[in-house]
A and B are shown apart, each in its own frame.
Chain A
Amino acid sequence: MADDRQLREFTCDPKQRKVLVTDGKTALGQALVSGLAAAHAEIIWVGHTEPWKKFPGFDELQKIPQVTLLPLDVTDSKNVREAAAEIAGKVDILVNNAEIHRSFGIGNRQGVETARAEMDVNYFGLLRLAQEFGPAMRSRGADGKSSAVAWVNLLSVYAHANFPPHGTFSASKAAAHSLAQCLRAEMRPAGVRVVNVFPGPIDDEWNQLLPPPKLAPETLARSILSALREGVEDVYPGDVAQEWLARWRDNPKALERELSA
């Protein structure tokens, strides 16, 4: 049943598909890669920045037979263009999990450099990837058994309502969310689904100061894989994201005021 041709068209099961995960350096990236490998993805390209620095988990990634590591820095247009020239015509599922997350609002960090770095990865990174990989994926929306099917964006539930302690990060994710809607509009006619993922705080080093509950990277990776298998467009994994979503749907203005408390 899982291999039924029509079902494969309707959903985006990674089985026998070729996948690009844009950042393999994070715990989430590595959980995604091992999940995709277990789901029988055929090829998994794994991006990593600053290729001169060996990162934790590098050796484990190398051992996964489907994995090919690919130097990829979404802030470097030339690098993104060259990576696309090499593989964009083969990528069936692109998972853009590259992000920069710093915990600053407006008042507790001087200058704009950190906020600019967040925008450069979280917003412009998506734009660069979309410009270079989008056209090739659109052209392969009906390419036989293993066609281009999905584009996953790691956004944040803060994209809907700014979380002031992480205010500049929230703003960059709001920008990315808006651009992802544009991407969705451009990809939909070709049958490539844009999956937007809106997690609450992930249990990583940049959220150390936040109290639980936090989303384990492995749990988030599983949610993303389920969304692909089930053909879901908007994903709110975990309790925090679900609660924010409910409050936001109920009364966005009330949520904004509560967050400023």
Chain B
Amino acid sequence: MNVLTAFAEDLVKGKIKVVDLTQTLSPEFPNISLPPEMGQAWPFRIEEVSRYDERGPAWYWNNFSCGEHTGTHFDAPVHWISGKDLPNNATDSIPPERFIGPAFVIDCSKEATQDSDFLLTKAFIENWEANHGRIAPRSWVLMRTDWSKRHDPAEYQNYDEEGQHTPGPDVDAVKFLVAERDILGFGTESIGTDAGQAYHLRPPYPCHYYMHGAGRYGLQCLTNLDQLPPTGAVVIAAPLKIRNGSGSPLRVLALIHD
């Protein structure tokens, strides 16, 4: 019996739990909005084509529209200027084996509850590793903040006069994860792999800048991270195969063995 047949058997027996890390795509789910003078990504919109009616008597279907960075979505390296010239940097050219990887879940929920602008530091990660083991190469690092439990869009977006206040990694943490841990990518529960106030960091949006600059990926607007163990889960995150796409909404699944 090879590892895949054993896996399939355990899956059928219910020994492998599948956790959906995806938010439901709907017009109500908060979307990213840039200052009005800049180009805007489309929010998710849906229009009925027919619903067993005069427009199509026996069938129901919709047209939907949205930007590449809508809902739970994947960021490809070409999304950022630092990753624009890398090989295999877009949704259609990334090797498909990169869409599956082990997950290391760093629980920052207490810190993020106390401080919306919480920044994950290298020291915090090293302390986490002391308890849970070293982060393996080619794995997803997921920052659990419980931000997805904020069901009120105003609380989820968390704007004030200064802009958005959401947690994210600091500059050194991102550099450490890329250079010293060689990770596949970084995932968050809020809109953006970077903190809401990351424009003020040097460089601005370090997670976008360094992750994508090194050919790594991002996952945003994840949910149910509280159902994952710190280590041992496997994440499947395959974006739509958009030609030269900078990202895509996607279904993110995590597998956990009993």
Contacts and interface: CB of A to CB of B under 8 A. Distances in A.
A, B bound: yes
Interface in B80-127: none
Contact of A113 (B30, B40, B46): B40
Contacts of A50: 33
Nearest to B156: A52
Contacts, number: 32
A50 B34 CA distance: 12
A236 to B, nearest CB: 28
A25 to B, nearest CB: 12
A78 B30 contact: no
A76 B45 contact: yes
Contact of A114 (B39, B45, B157): B39
A141 B96 CA distance: 61
A76 B40 contact: no
> How extensive is the interface on chain B, given as a class?
10 to 19
B27 interface: yes
A53 B159 contact: yes
Interface in B137-174: 153-154, 156-157, 159
Contacts of B156: 52
A51 interface: yes
B159 A54 contact: yes
B30 A52 contact: yes
B47 A77 contact: yes
The residue among A52, A76, A77 with the most chain B CB atoms within 10 A of its own CB is A52
Contact of A51 (B33, B45, B48, B154): B154
Nearest to A73: B27
B40 A53 contact: no
Contacts of B46: 77-78
Contacts of A114: 39
B45 A52 contact: no
What size tier do the contact residues of chain A reach? 10 to 19
Contacts of B47: 77
A51 B153 contact: yes
A113 B33 contact: no
Interface in A194-228: none
B45 A113 contact: no
A113 B48 CA distance: 22
Interface string A104-122: 0000000101100100000
Given A52-B154, A52-B157, A53-B159, A78 B27 contact: yes
B164 to A, nearest CB: 9
Interface string B34-57: 000001100101111000000000
A222 B181 CA distance: 65
Contacts of A53: 33, 157, 159
A143 to B, nearest CB: 29
A79 B27 contact: yes
Nearest to A75: B45
Nearest to B37: A102
Nearest to B157: A52
B32 to A, nearest CB: 11
A32 to B, nearest CB: 21
Interface string A62-93: 00000000000101111100000000000000
Contacts of B39: 111, 113-114
Contacts of B153: 51-52
Contacts of B43: 75-76
Nearest to A111: B39
A77 B49 CA distance: 12
A142 B101 CA distance: 66
Interface of B: 27-28, 30, 33, 39-40, 43, 45-48, 153-154, 156-157, 159
22 contacts: A50-B33, A51-B154, A52-B30, A52-B153, A52-B156, A52-B157, A52-B159, A53-B33, A53-B157, A54-B159, A73-B27, A75-B45, A76-B27, A76-B43, A76-B45, A77-B45, A77-B47, A77-B48, A78-B46, A111-B39, A113-B39, A114-B39
Q: Kindly list the 9 A-B residue pairs having the minimum CB-CB distance in the complex, ordered from nearest.
A: A52-B157, A52-B154, A76-B27, A52-B153, A53-B159, A78-B27, A113-B39, A77-B47, A52-B30
Given A51-B154, A52-B157, 10 more contacts: A51-B153, A52-B156, A52-B159, A73-B27, A76-B27, A77-B46, A77-B47, A113-B39, A113-B40, A114-B39
